[in-house]
Structure 1
Amino acid sequence: MEKLSIIKIGGNIIGDETSLHAFLTLFSALEGKKILIHGGGKHATLLASKLGIVSKIIAGRRITDAENLEVITMVYGGLVNKKIVAKLQAFQIDAIGLTGADANSIRAEKRPVTKIDFGFVGDVKAVNSNVINKLITADLTPVFCAITHDGNGQLLNTNADTVASQVAIGMSERYDTALYYCFELEGVLRDFNDKTSIVQQIDAKTYEKLLITGVITDGMIPKLDNCFDALRSGVSRVHIGSTGMLSKDNDKFTTITL
C-alpha cells in the first residue's frame, strides 16, 4: 500500500511564527502523500476575550455555546486555516483548506448532554475517505481544521486530536497510514521538569503503569486514548513529539504500539 502521513499540530506551534515556519518547512519536505490537521483554541480564546465572550473549559474540553461556535468558525476555519494554507503555497505545496462540512468529508454527532452540556461539540461518526482520496490523488494537500458538521446544516466544534485519529483510521483502508501528533515537547515525558526524559515507546501495559504512577495526566490521556484507538482500527504507526520528529535523522519522540 502507498504511504500516507497524517500530521496534527498543537496550538503552541500555531501561535508561534518561528515554530510554525519550522514545522511547515519539515512538513513540506515530507515525502509522499500527507494531510494536516489543526485546531486553534488559544487563538479562539484570545479573540473571544476581545469580543467580550467568555470561554469556558472543563477538564481540558471547551464548552461551545452559539457565540463561541461563531468565534471558533472564524478562527479555525478562517484565520488559522487560511494562514497555514497560504504559507504552504510559499513552500510550493498545493494545499486546500477544509472543514469537515466541505464535501461532507467528516460527519459528526452533537455530544449528548450528561453531567456536562458541552454545547455544539461533535463526536466524529463518519470520515468520507472517498472524497478525501480524490483530493489527495489530485495532488492536493488537505488542511483540515477541527470543525465538523452533522449533515443537517449544523457546524460542530470537534477535538483536533480526535479528528486526526479518525481521519487516519478512515484513510487506513486505502493507505499504509502513519499518524503524528506534533506539539511543543519532544514526546511523552517521565518527568515534566526534565524535557529529556522521553518515554520512547508506550504499549498498552506501559500506558496503564504510567497512568497509575501519575506520569500521564490531564490532556495527555485523551491524546493517548486516540493513539490506541487509531492503532486498533487499522493505522500502522503512531508517534508523539516535536516537529523535529518529521526529519529523517531524529529519533527523539514517543512511538505508541499495541
Structure 2
Amino acid sequence: MKQKLSIVKIGGNVIENQAELERFLLNFSKLEGLKILVHGGGKLATKLASQLGIESQMSNGRRITDAKSLEVITMVYGGLANKNIVAKLQALGTNALGLSGADGNSIKAHKRPVKDIDFGFVGDIDGIASDFLNTVLNAGITPVFCAISHDGKGQLLNTNADTIASEIAIGMSPIFETTLYYCFEKKGVLKNVEDEDSVIQHINTATYSDLIQEKIIADGMLPKMENCFHALHNHVGKVCIGDISMLQPESNTFTTITL
C-alpha cells in the first residue's frame, strides 16, 4: 500500500493576511503524514513592483513577465514570501525547506511559446524530479515551493502556482497516494457566488459539465478546475478546494472533486 502524500496550494489572499496565514500554517503543520506546500505571491509582487516604479502587466488575469517583473517575482516569491512561510513553519515544529523549481532541479519547464500574446518569462512545466522530492520527504523535511520553475539552461521562469501544485501531485502519484488541496479564501466551489455558504460538496466529471453549462463555474474558477481534472486524469487520487479550515480533521465544508 502506498504512503499518503498531501500537496497543498495556498492562495495569495491568504498570504497577504498575516492572521489568516498563521492560522493556515498552524493547520498545515498539524496535517498528518507527508506533505508539500506550494505558494504564489502575485499580489505582494504587484505591490513591490509598484513601489519600485515597475508596471505590472496582465492579460485575462495572467501576468505578463518581462525581465524586470521576473526580478521582482524572484525576490518576492523565492525570498520574502517563501522564507517567511518557512520560518513560521519551523516555529510550529515543521522542518520545512524553501525551494524554487531550480533547487534540486525539481521543476523543469520551457518558456511559453508566443501565440496571440507574448507572456515573457513564463514557464510551462515539462517534468518534476520525483526521486529528489521523495528523498527530501523521506528525510523528514517538508518542501515549500514558490511559483518559480527553470529551463535547465540558467533561466528562471514564472509559473502558475496552481499548475505547479497539480504537476507535483501528478509527478509524485506513482510513488504515493496523493491528495491535492487548493486552499483559498472561499469555503469551496460555490453554487451562488453571492452566498458564501452555498458550497458544492462534491463534483465529478458529469456534474462538472452541468455546472459549466449553467455558468455556475466560470471565469477564474475555470482554470483552477481544469488543473483539478488534469490531475485526476493523471492518477492523483483526490482534489479538494476550500478555505483554511479545510485541513482540519473535523472539517466537512469544502468541495471534493473526483472523476
State the TM-score, normalized to the length of structure 1.
0.99
Partner of 1:109: 110
Partner of 2:206: 205
Partner of 1:52: 53
Partner of 2:26: 25
> How far is 1:142 from its partner?
0.2
What amino acid sits opposite 2:202 in the alignment?
Answer: Q
What amino acid sits opposite 1:208 in the alignment?
Answer: S
> How far is 1:208 from its partner?
1.5
Alpha-carbon distance between aligned partners in 2 of 1:230 and 1:105, rounded to the nearest angstrom: 18
Q: How is 1:188-227 mapped onto 2 (pairs within 5 angstroms)?
A: 188-227=189-228
> How far is 1:25 from its partner?
0.6
Partner of 2:98: 97
> How far is 1:203 from its partner?
1.1
**8 Å contact from structure 1 (residues 59, 218) kept in 2:** no
Partner of 2:6: 5
Partner of 2:124: 123
What is the percent sequence identity of the aligned residues? 60
What amino acid sits opposite 1:186 in the alignment?
Answer: K
> How far is 1:217 from its partner?
1.5
Give the RMSD, CA atoms, in angstroms: 0.6
Detail structure 1 runs of 4+ shifted over 6 Å in the superposition: none
> How far is 1:242 from its partner?
0.6
What secondary structure does 1:35 align onto?
strand
What secondary structure does 2:240 align onto?
strand
Partner of 1:139: 140
User: Per-residue displacement from partner, 1:100-157 (whole Å, max 9, x unpaired)?
Assistant: 0001000001100000100000001010000011110110000000000000000000
Structure 1 segments unaligned to the other structure (5+ residues): none
Alpha-carbon distance between aligned partners in 2 of 1:243 and 1:130, rounded to the nearest angstrom: 29
Partner of 1:151: 152
> How far is 1:205 from its partner?
1.8
> How far is 1:66 from its partner?
0.4
> How far is 1:64 from its partner?
0.3
Partner of 1:253: 254
> How far is 1:59 from its partner?
1.1
User: Per-residue displacement from partner, 1:26-77 (whole Å, max 9, x unpaired)?
Assistant: 0000110000000000000000000011101111110000010000000000
What amino acid sits opposite 1:61 in the alignment?
Answer: R
> How far is 1:218 from its partner?
1.6
**8 Å contact from structure 1 (residues 64, 118) kept in 2:** yes
Alpha-carbon distance between aligned partners in 1 of 2:247 and 2:153, rounded to the nearest angstrom: 38
What amino acid sits opposite 1:151 in the alignment?
Answer: G
Partner of 1:244: 245
User: Per-residue displacement from partner, 1:154-180 (whole Å, max 9, x unpaired)?
Assistant: 000000000000000001110000000
> How far is 1:247 from its partner?
0.6
Alpha-carbon distance between aligned partners in 1 of 2:96 and 2:79, rounded to the nearest angstrom: 14
Partner of 1:187: 188
Partner of 2:173: 172
State the TM-score, normalized to the length of structure 2.
0.99
**8 Å contact from structure 1 (residues 23, 243) kept in 2:** yes
**Count of aligned residue pairs for this structure pair:** 258
Alpha-carbon distance between aligned partners in 2 of 1:125 and 1:60, rounded to the nearest angstrom: 23
Structure 2 segments unaligned to the other structure (5+ residues): none
**8 Å contact from structure 1 (residues 110, 156) kept in 2:** yes
> How far is 1:219 from its partner?
1.5
What amino acid sits opposite 2:5 in the alignment?
Answer: L
Alpha-carbon distance between aligned partners in 2 of 1:230 and 1:71, rounded to the nearest angstrom: 30
